[in-house]
Amino acid sequence: MSDEFNEHDWRRFLLSIGEDPSRPGLLETPARVAKAWKHWTSGYGQNPADVLKAFEDGAEHYNELIVVRNIPVYSHCEHHLAPFFGKATVGYMPDGKIVGLSKLTRLVECFSKRLQVQERLTMQVANALMEILEPRAVGVVIRCRHLCMESRGIKTAGEETVTSTMLGELRQNLAMRTEFLDLAREDIGRF
């Protein structure tokens, strides 16, 4: 799709809601909105395998959880195109390979910059990490607020949806699962 096509569609959208796209305040809006949606959906052009560069150096004897918390999540629900946002916690137990810590954030971003439902987003992050890195265990917890619930429909502000996926040893090992969920909790003391 070309930017002109997108701009034309956004002009038609403005007309359809009763606005005048030729008024001064809206003249540049179609171009800005087309550019914003290109950014918000840029995850479709990303391959998760390209995001997760693995290192074998440094992980040969590490057999504990590696967890990154408070990863920002900004996405749009596929049902209403309304934003949802929050935080993700991603953890894994390596099996000889590790990734740069920022790669976990980039993996979340790769999938969140697509039209989503939170449940699928959670599973996509976990499955990609498990497939590409081949760790012993993967855990993902995502907490988000959904504007489709807050601004329309039930109209309740501040509700948080929590989803989780546990793969590999985290699925069967209760002690490891408990440790991961403890590390993922938000109320753990700050530095």
Q: What is the DSSP string of 115-143?
A: EE-HHHHHHHHHHHHHHHH--SEEEEEEE
15-29 as b/e: b if 16+ CB within 10 A: eeeeeeeeeeeeeeb
Which residue in 7, 109, 110, 146 is the catalytic one? 146
Q: Is 54 strand, coil or helix?
A: strand
**Other Cβ atoms closer than 10 A to 93:** 22
Return left, alpha or beta for 134; rule: phi > 0 is left, psi -120 to 50 is alpha, else beta: left
8 is catalytic: no
79 is catalytic: yes
CA 7, CA 53: separation in Å to the nearest integer?
Answer: 36
Which residue in 76, 116, 118, 124 is the catalytic one? 118
Which residue in 4, 60, 79, 160 is the catalytic one? 79
Which residue in 4, 28, 60, 78 is the catalytic one? 78
Return left, alpha or beta for 49; rule: phi > 0 is left, psi -120 to 50 is alpha, else beta: alpha
Which residue in 7, 76, 77, 124 is the catalytic one? 77
Which residue in 80, 134, 150, 169 is the catalytic one? 80
146 is catalytic: yes
39 is catalytic: no
110 is catalytic: no
Active-site positions read 77-80, 118, 146, 148
